[in-house]
Structure 1
Amino acid sequence: MSGILASTKRHARTVKGIQGFPIIMLINIFLGIGFSFVIPFNSMFGIDEVGMSNTSFGVFMLISSLCGIFFSTWIAKLSDRVPDRKFILILCSLAAVIGYLGFAFSRNYAVLLFFSSVFIGISSSTFSQVFAIGREMLTRSELPEKQVPFYMNILRTLFALSWTVGPAIASYALLYMGFTGLFMVAATCYAIVSIIALLFLRRKSEAAGRSAAKEILPLKQIMLQPLILINVIAFACISTAHNMSMMNMAQFVTKEIGGSQQDVGVIFSITSVFEIPFMLGFGILATSVKSDKLIRLGAILALIYFCVLFFAESSWHIFGLQILSAAYISITSGIAITYFQDFLPDMPGTATNLYSNANKAGSMLGFMLFGFVADVFGYRNVYLTCAAFVLVAVTLLFGLRYARRTPAEASISG
C-alpha cells in the first residue's frame, strides 16, 4: 500500500511539473461531464422526447456525424498550421454552448438538425484539440518518451472519471428538470471549458507553431498509407459497434428487459468506474508492451462483450458485463489516442483527428444501422450486429500483424 501511495505522489509531482498539463486536465474533466450528460440519453431525447422514429433518428445522427467529420477535419488541419490551439479550443467549446442551448429549447426536427450539424459539428473538435494540446505539452516537457502513453492515459482517465457520476446524475436531472435542464448543464460545462482555456491556458510560442507547420503532410498522402488506413477502418468498425450499443442501451433496458431510466444511468456509470483503474493499468502496461498488442487485446474483449450482451435478460446481467465493457473501452479509447499520435508525431491535431474521425465514421454508420436493425430485427439483435462489426475489426488488426509492411510503417508501430 505504501508503495502505491509513493508511486501516486511521484506521478502527481510529475504532472504538476509539466507546464500547463494540470490546466488541460481540468478542462478535460468538464469536457467529460458535458459528454456524459448528453450521449447516454441521445436516443431517448430523439425518440421519446422529440418523437422521431428509430429510422429518422438514425438519419438525424447520420447527417450530424457527416457534418462533424467535415468540420473536425478542416479544424484539425488548421490547428496543425496555426501557432497556437488555444483559441481554436475556445471557439469549439463556445459552439457547443450554442448547440446545446438550441437542444434545450427546441423540439423541432429541422431546427435541431441545424444546431446539431453546425454547432455540435464544430464542437466535435473540442476532444481532439484537448488531447493534441496535451500531447504537445508532454512532448515539450522533459518526460521520457516511453512515459508519454502513461500520462496520456491519465488525461484520458480524467475524461472517464467524469463519467463515473455524470450519467447517474444526468438521469436524476432528467427526472426532475427534463431534457431542458439536461442540456443546460451540458452547455454550462462547455462554457466553463472556454473560460478556463481563456484565463489559464498559456499560449504556445509562435516559433514552435511555425516549426510544426513545416511538417504538415497532405491528408490524402496520410490516408493512403496501408497501416493507417487499415487501422482507421478497424477503429471505425469498433466505433460502429460501440455507438450502436450506446444508442440501443436505453431502449433495450427500458423496452426489452423491463429496466428503468435509473438502471440506464447506473449501467453507464459502472463502466466509467472501472475504466479508471483499467486505463491507469493499461497505461502502465503500455510503457513496456507494444501498443499494437494491447489494441488487439481490446478488440477481442469487445467481441466477447457484445456476444455475451446479446443473451442478457435483466439489468443486473448488464451491470456485471459493464466491467468487460470498461476493459475494452480503456484500450480502444485510451491507448488508441497515443497509438494514432505515434503515426504522425509532428501533427498531433491531425493524428488525434484520425482517431476521432474513425470514431465519427463508426458513429455515422452505427446511428444509421441502429434504426434499421432495431426496427426490423429488434433491440436485442442490435448486439449481434455489434459483434459482427467487431469481428471485422479483430480480423483486420490481426491481419496487420502478418502483413508485409514498409520499414517506415514498421517503425511507426514500434
Structure 2
Amino acid sequence: MHWLATMGRRLNGVYAAFMLVAFMVGVAGALQMPTLSLFLSREVGVQPFWVGLFYTVNAIAGIVVSLGLAKRSDSQGDRRKLILFCCLMAVGNALLFAFNRHYLTLLICGVMLASLANALMPQLFALAREYADSSAREVVMFSSVMRAQLSLAWVIGPPLAFMLALNYGFTTMFSIAAGIFFLSLVLIAFALPSVSRVETSADVAVTEVSGWGDKNVRMLFVASTLMWTCNTMYIIDMPLWISSDLGLPDNLAGILMGTAAGLEIPAMILAGYYVKRFGKRPMMITAVAAGVLFYFGLILFHSHEALLFLQLFNAVFIGIIAGIGMLWFQDLMPGRAGSATTLFTNSISTGVIIAGVIQGAVSQSFGHHAVYWVMAAVAVVTLGLTCRVKDV
C-alpha cells in the first residue's frame, strides 16, 4: 500500500527508537496492569473495595504530578531528561511490588513512585510529536504507528503476565517488568533526541495554557474521561469476573486482553490513514458506538467464543480513541503538545479514579455482573457527549 511505502521512506533511526521505547515501556506496563487486581486480591489479601480504592488513589496522585510536570516540560528544560527520571521511577515501582506485600506500603510508596512513572508515556509522545513537527514529518501516521506499538505490547504483555504470575509468582513477573523498564531507560539515554521548544509567555493565562477555557476541550475531556472509565472498569473487574462468576480459566483474562490488543493494531493504523478523509469527530463517534456494542455484548453473552468475538468491538473502541483522541486534544491546543497530551492522559487517570470507586463499590455491594450494566450506561452517555465536540 502507498501509505506503507511512504512510512518506510520516512522511517529513520530516531523514529525506530521511539517505536522501540514505546513497545518496551508498553510491555512492562502490560505485565503489571492486567494482573494488579488479582495481585491485590490474592497476594495482598484485600477486599474488592480496597482494590478499587488503590486504583483511585494512584490515579489522583498521577494527575497532580503529571500536570506539574507537563507545565514545566512545555516551557523549560530537556524533556528527554524528564523521561529518563520517570523511567527510573518505573523501575523502582516495579521492584517495590516484586518484594512487598503490605497494602499501606504499596498504597503510599507505590503511589508516589507510580505517579512519577505514569508521566513517562505522555512525555514520550509529546517528545515524539515535537520531533515530528521539527523534522516536517507526517505526524498523524507516525503517532498512530507509535501508538500501535503499545497495542502490540498488550498482545504480548497480558498473556505473558498471567503465565508468569500463575506459574512463577508475582515476584518474578514484577522483577521482569523492572528489567524491561531499565533497558528502556538505557535506550532513551542513548537513542532519543532533545528537541528545542518555544517557551510559553509568562503573561499567558493559565486557562489558555491548559486549554480549559475552550468548551470543546472541556467537552472532549469529559467524554474521554468516561471512555476510559468504561475501559478501566473492564480491566479491573474482568479477571475477577471471569474466575468468580463465569467459572472460566484465570488465564482467559490475559488471552482476551491480548486478543483485543492485537486487533487494535490494524484499527489504529487504519484510523491514522483514513483520519484525513473522514475527520477525527466521525471516527471517534464510530469508536464510541463500537464501545456501546461491546459493553452491552458483555451483559448478554458469556461463552468463551462470544467473549473472544466481542474483542473486535473493544479493539475498534480503544484502538481509535487511544490514537485519534490524543491527536484531537493536540489539534485543539496547538503549540502545547505536552499539556495537550497530558490532558488526554489525565482524562485516562480521571477515568481510573471514577472506575476504581464505582467498580469497588458496585462489585462488593451488588456483584460483578452489575458492573457491566454501569459500563454500558456510561458508554451511552459518552456517545452523546462525543457528538457535541467539533471536528478539527
Bin the TM-score by the shorter chain: over 0.9
Match of 2:6 in 1: 10
**Cα deviation per residue 1:280-329 (whole Å; 9 max; x = unaligned)?**
11111112221111111111111111011112222322111111100110
Q: Tell me the distance in 2 between the aligned counterparts of 1:372 and 1:297.
A: 31
Q: Which amino acid aligns with 1:213?
A: T
Q: Which segments of 5 or more consecutive residues in structure 2 lack a partner in the other structure?
A: none
1:224 is displaced (CA, Å) by 2.8
Specify the code of the residue in structure 2 equivalent to 1:220: T
Aligned positions of 1:5-404 closer than 5 A: 7-16=3-12, 20-143=14-137, 147-204=138-195, 208-209=196-197, 211-214=198-201, 217-221=204-208, 222-400=211-389
Whole-angstrom CA distance in 2 between matches of 1:166 and 1:215: 43
SS in 2 for 1:304: helix
CA distances 1:27-53 after superposition (whole Å, capped 9, x unpaired): 101111011101111110111211111
CA contact (8 A) 1:161 1:273 kept: yes
Distance 1:49 1:126 in 2: 27
TM-score normalised by structure 2 residue count: 0.96
Cα distance change of structure 1 residues 217 and 163 upon mapping to structure 2, 3 Å threshold: farther
Aligned pair in 2 of structure 1 residues 216, 116: CA closer, same or farther (>3 Å)?
A: farther
- Distance verdict in 2 for CA 1:287–1:329, change over 3 Å: same
Alpha-carbon contact 1:103-1:183 (below 8 Å) kept: yes
Letter of the aligned partner of 2:219 in structure 1?
I
User: What is the rounded CA distance, in whole Å, between the counterparts of 1:212 and 1:335 in structure 2?
Assistant: 26
* Matched residue count: 390
Cα deviation, residue 217, structure 1? 4.8
> Which whole-Å deviations, capped at 9, do the CAs of 1:144-197 have from their partners, x for residues lacking one?
xxx421221011001111111111111211122211111111111211121111
Structure 1 residues 226 and 10 mapped into 2: Cα distance closer, same or farther (>3 Å)?
closer
**Cα distance in structure 1, aligned partners of 2:110 and 2:151:** 24
Residue 213 of structure 2 aligns with an amino acid whose one-letter code is L
Amino acid at match of 1:15: L
Distance 1:44 1:296 in 2: 33
Deviations 1:341-381 (A, max 9, x none): 11222111100001000110010110111011111221112
Distance in 2 (CA, whole Å) between partners of 1:165 and 1:152 is: 21
Report the aligned-residue RMSD: 1.6
CA distance in 2, matches of 1:165, 1:235: 26
- Contact conserved, 1:150 with 1:286, CA < 8 A, in 2? no
Change (3 A) 1:200 1:283: same
Tell me: CA distance 1:261–1:284, structure 2 relative to 1, closer, same or farther (3 Å).
same
Structure 1 position 215, deviation (Å): 8.7
CA contact (8 A) 1:215 1:347 kept: no
For 2:331 and 2:183, how far apart are their aligned partners in 1? 30
Q: Deviation per CA, 1:201-239, whole angstroms, max 9, x where unpaired?
A: 2222xxx32x24349954434213211111101111111
Distance 1:9 1:30 in 2: 25
* Secondary structure class of the residue paired with 1:400: coil
Shift of 1:116: 2.4
Q: Do the aligned residues in 2 keep the contact of 1:44 with 1:251 (CA within 8 Å)?
A: yes
